[in-house]
Structures are given as C-alpha cells and as structure tokens.
Structure 1
Amino acid sequence: MTNFSLRRTVLASAILAAVTMIGVLPSTAMAYDEASTAAVNIDEQGVGLKGFDPVAYFTAKAPTLGNAAYSAQYDGVTYHFASKANLNKFNANPAHYAPQFGGFCAMGVALDKKLDGDPQVWKVVGGKLYLNVNKEVQKKWLEDVAGNLKKANMEWPSIKDKAPKEL
C-alpha cells in the first residue's frame, strides 16, 4: 500500500469514526438504496435532490422545493422545478445544473463512500452544485474544498457504479 493510500485510508476511517461517534452521521446517511449500483442518488420514484429544484441553487441561491408539474429527466434522474422558467433553464443546459457525483455527498466521495446528499447542505463551487450528507461533514469538506474535490474527482470513476454497502 502506498503512503498516499495509507494516509487516505486512515483519514477516511478517522473522519467517519468521528462523525459517527458524535452522532452526526445518521443511520439514513447512506444513499436511499444501499444495494443500488446506480451512479445517481434517487428516491423510489426516480426523483433526485429529494424534489428540490437544481436551478434554484444558482438563481435564488437557496434550496427551493420543486413542483412535480415542472419536471424534466436527465441522466436517469427526474428533477422537479419551482417554476417553468427554471425548467426551461435546466432544459437548455442540464449538465450545468445537475448535482455533481450524482447527488451523493462530495466529502463521502472523496473518502471512497457513496453517502446520501442532503439538498439543504450544499455549495456551488466553480459553477457546479455539490451536496454533503450533513452540516458537520460539510464543515470538514469546506476546510479544503480544492483538495477534497481533487480526491473526489479521482475516486468517483471507481465507485460510481458500486453499491454504497460495498464501499
């Protein structure tokens, strides 16, 4: 095992142990279906972001619940929008508005995990939407956004098609 891999494994174990011990990683912190090998985090109806409008993070700069009357599909996910205007913006450039890492927690991905993404714990960085599992984990992620994104972007291709329970 390389020194980098060993450090990453130790760091991942330490962070997950710490957040679990202080109770900030709820039992529902894993993706909706822990056995799913899907690269997107969706509910039973195939809805992403738990029904929140992906465009609103960029326009209203706040999580905003969408309305099923304004829906679109992209990359195997149904998204709901708060308005027809947001739906039209999404349809014009869905890749810009869709959450990164399929809507899974960005810090989790950096640690080789597919944790549920909370649509109310978010950050737009470099014009892209990232979610975290909870505010405590987001605090850790925000300590080194560039470094954590670099790790997550390296890890995502190898974990995106694996079930969360396998990681």
Structure 2
Amino acid sequence: MKHAALVILLFSFAQAQSQNLPYAKKHYNLENNVAIQGYDPVSYFTANKAEEGKKFISYSHGGVVYYFVNETNKKAFLENPEKYEPQYGGYCAYAMADGEKVRIDPETFKIIDNKLYLFYNFRFTNTLKLWNKNENELLPKSEVEWAKIIKN
C-alpha cells in the first residue's frame, strides 16, 4: 500500500512539473531550456556578480534548467527557487515596462528588494543605466505589464 501511494505521489509531482513546462517555454527567456544563458542565479545574491554555471551542476525547475557554479549554490536554489529566479522570466526589466520581451546581458543586473532583475546591454545601450534614472516609475509599470503577459 505504501508503495502504491508513493508511485501516485511521484506521478502527481511529475505531472505537475510537466504542466509548468509550456508556461516556462512561453514566458521565460530560454536558450535550449536553459535560463539566464547558463549563469548561476544564486551567485547574483551570494557573490554579487554574474558567474557562469556548470552544465554538470544543474537543476530543472518547472521545465526551466538552471546551471550553478557549485553544489552549495544548487542546494540554496533547491531550498527556495522563487528567491533566486529572475523577475519577468529573465527578460529585460527596462523593456518590460513597455510590455516587451527583450533579451538580456546576464552580466547586467540589479538586486531590488531581494529580487533579481536583468537588463539588455548591447551596442551602446545599457538599459540598467536608463532604469536607474527612473526606477520608481518603471518598476510598477514592469509589474503590471508582466502580469498581462503571463495571463496569455
């Protein structure tokens, strides 16, 4: 009886995880199902810098794969994934204020209220600098636009 209950529990968990996959693929900034271009989400908080994770230290959360620089960071993520996942599915926070899903430079980031925000920084345009000039207005706009996006 215990075995049957365990099988049912594992099946339910696997089914719930697979149901998250279409959401993740639709609303997350992924390359081959990998978030943040392979950068470790925990390092932004613990080292205050962007560090490339290692493929062999990875974890899939809701169909989104994250790489980590070490097992300690992976363990921290496993304990509280929501704390470390980037806001707006890993898209540029500045562009999100206009409801746009724009790619990011994983090395251009900001931690605000213990949340990770990523930004576009290519070809003479660093949106983090633009964000910093008007963060108090842009942050609430980004939240509203992201809520609209994930409803679809």
Give the structure-2-normalised TM-score.
0.78
Q: Identity over aligned residues, as a percent?
A: 35
Identify the match of residue 38 of structure 1 among 26, 33, 46: 26
- Distance (whole Å) between structure 2 residues aligned to residue 75 and residue 132 of structure 1: 23
Deviation at 1:109, TM superposition (A): 0.5
Letter in 1 for 2:140: K
Q: Describe how 1:110-149 pairs up with structure 2 within 5 A.
A: 110-134=97-121, 136-149=126-139
118 and 161 in structure 1: CA distance in 2 versus 1, 3 angstrom threshold:
farther
SS in structure 1 of the partner of residue 30 of structure 2: coil
Deviation at 1:161, TM superposition (A): 6.3
Deviation at 1:143, TM superposition (A): 1.0
Identify the match of residue 86 of structure 2 among 99, 108, 111: 99
Number of aligned residues: 126
SS in structure 1 of the partner of residue 106 of structure 2: strand
Structure with the largest fraction of helix: 2
- Distance (whole Å) between structure 1 residues aligned to residue 90 and residue 151 of structure 2: 14
- Distance (whole Å) between structure 2 residues aligned to residue 37 and residue 86 of structure 1: 24
Higher RCO (Cα < 8 Å, 6 or more apart): 1
Identify the match of residue 151 of structure 1 among 120, 128, 141: 141
- Distance (whole Å) between structure 1 residues aligned to residue 71 and residue 118 of structure 2: 24
> Where does structure 1 lack aligned partners over 5 or more consecutive residues?
1-35, 163-167
Structure with the largest fraction of strand: 2
Give the structure-1-normalised TM-score.
0.71
Letter in 1 for 2:94: M
- Aligned residue number for residue 17 of structure 1: none
- State the superposition RMSD in angstroms: 1.7
Matched, 1:71 2:71: no
Moved over 6 A (4+): none
Matched, 1:83 2:76: no
Deviation at 1:68, TM superposition (A): 1.0
> Where does structure 2 lack aligned partners over 5 or more consecutive residues?
1-23
